[in-house]
Amino acid sequence: MKGTSFDQRSAAAILRKNDLGAYTVPTHGLYPYQWSWDSAITALGWLHVDESRAWLEVETMFQGQWDNGMVPHILFHGDTESYFPGPDVWGSQQTILSSAISQPPIWATVVRILFENASDQSLATQKVTKLLPGLTAYHRWWYRERDPENTGLVCSYHPWESGMDNSPAWDAPLRNVPLVDWSYQRSDLSHVDHDQRPEKEDYDKYLYLVDFFKECEFDSNYIYRHCPYKVLDIGIISILHRASSDLLALCTAISNAEKTEELKSCFRQTEEAIDRLWFKEKSCFLSHDLLTAARLEEITSATVLPLFAGLPSAEQADAMGNLLRGWIDKTAYALSSTHPASKLFEPKRYWRGPVWLHINWMIAEGLIAYDMPELAEELKNSSRRCLYDAGFWEYFDAERGNGCGGEDFSWTAAIALHWLGE
C-alpha cells in the first residue's frame, strides 16, 4: 500500500474487514481477540461508518467486566489456541475468558464523543444510561485497587497495562522482575519481524508477572504489597483523569443517579498530586518507580499526555509546547514514541521510537485545549503523511515512515476516519 493515498472508504473497509460481528480485532493473525484500548479507539471510527456498530463495540467489551469493576485488557472470544499468552496462562476463570490486567482507561472519553456526536440522540441516551454503571465501576476500580493509599496517583503492575509495552521508561523497573523459568513459543514473531517487537528478555519478564498474578489468585492487597513491578505511569494517570472528567460530564448530561462524589474527590486528588511528577529540567511529567522511588527520566510520548488530561498549569503547558516544537523536527515523521535524543531510541521497535497515530490524536487534542493549534496541526499533517506514504499500519518508522507491526490496522483506520479525514 506504500504511496497510496487514503480516503474514508478505504479506512471504513479495514474496519469491516476486521469486524467479527460484535467486536473488532486490531488486525487478523497478530491480534485475534478484543483488546480494550484498541477497541475503544476503533469505536471512534465506527461512529463515522455505522453508529449502532460503534455502541456495540463498547457494549461487547463491558460484557467482560469483572465483578470488581476491572475491564480486562484482552477478552478471548472464541478459539483461544492462536495467541500466546492465552487464557490458560492468565488463569482468570471469568465467564468470558480474559487477561487479568487492564489497559489505559479511555472508554469514558470515547463514550462521551459517541454521545455528543450521535445522529440518533435517543439511541445514544439509551446506550449511555445502560453503560454508566459499568463505566463508573471501572473508574472506582482504578482509584480503589491501584491507589489504596489515596495519594491521587494510580499505579500499574505490568508494562502491558500501560499500552506502551516495551517503552524504555520501563527498563529500570523491569530490572527488579525475574525472568520466567519456563519455555514458551511467542506467536507475535510469526507475524512481525523481530526488529519491530519487544526483546525476549522483556517477554520473559512480562510472563513472570502474568504468572505472579495467577499464583497470588489476583488478590489485590497482596499484589499491591508484593508485586515486583509497581509504577506510577504518567500515561495511565493522564488518560484516567481525562476519562474521569468525561465520565462526570456524562453523569450530568444523563442526570444519572449514580453517586459521583467519590469520583469527584479522586479527580481533585489527582489534580493536587500531579506536580509530584513534574520535572522542570525536562519540561514534562515523568513516571516514577514506586518500589525504588526513582524518577523514570526517559522522555516518551506518555510524558506529554497530561496535556490531553488538562493537568498542566499554563506555565507547564508552555514548557511542554517548547519541548514538542524541537521534538517534532528531530525525526522525519512525528511524534516518535521515545525522544530521538535518547540513547535508547529505536525508530521502528514498537514503543521505543515509532509513531502511533492514536497517541498523536490525544496529544493534538491537548495542544488545542492549551491554545497551541499550530503544533496540533503539525502532528495532524505528519500523521497524514504516515498514511499517504505507507498505509494503515499499526505504527510507523519515525525515520523512514515505513509501516510496522500489523497491516490493515483497526485503530489506525479509526483515527483516519475520526481525526484525519478531509
List Cβ neighbours of 391 (8 Å cut-off, separation of 6 or more): 1, 2, 4, 6, 403, 407, 408
Q: What angle do CA 371, 285, 357 make, to 5 degrees?
A: 60
Residue with cell 523512514: 400
Reduce the DSSP state of residue 288 to 3 states and report it: strand
DSSP string across 120-133: -HHHHHHHHHHHHH
Choice among 161, 165, 289, 389 that is catalytic: 165
Count Cα atoms within 13 angstroms, Cβ side, for 342: 22
CA-to-CA separations, 341 to 76, 269, 323, 337, in angstroms, rounded: 39, 34, 12, 12
Give the C-alpha distances (Å, rounded to integers) separating 185 from 84, 164, 401. 8, 22, 30
Please tell me the distance from the alpha carbon of residue 422 to that of residue 419, in angstroms, as a whole number: 9
Residue with cell 520473559: 204
Cell of residue 336, nine digits: 516518535
Helix (H) or strand (E) holding 35: strand 34-35
What is the residue type of 291? L
In DSSP notation, 359-393 reads HHHHHHHHHHHTT-HHHHHHHHHHHHHHHHHH-S-
394 is catalytic: yes
Q: Which residues are within 8 A (CB) of 192 and not within 5 positions of it... i.e. 6 or more apart?
A: 30, 404, 405, 406
Is 165 one of the annotated active-site residues of the chain? yes
DSSP letters spanning 302-334: GGGTHHHHT-S-HHHHHHHHHHHHHHHTTSSSS
Q: Which residues contact 299 (CB under 8 A, 6 or more apart)?
A: 282, 284, 323, 327, 338, 339, 341, 342
Taking the C-alpha atoms of residue 132 and residue 248, their distance in angstroms, rounded to an integer, is: 10
Question: CA 106 → CA 59, 139, 143, 162, distances in Å?
Answer: 14, 10, 15, 12
From 51, 57, 394, 407, active-site residue: 394
Question: Mind telling me the catalytic residues?
Answer: 165, 394
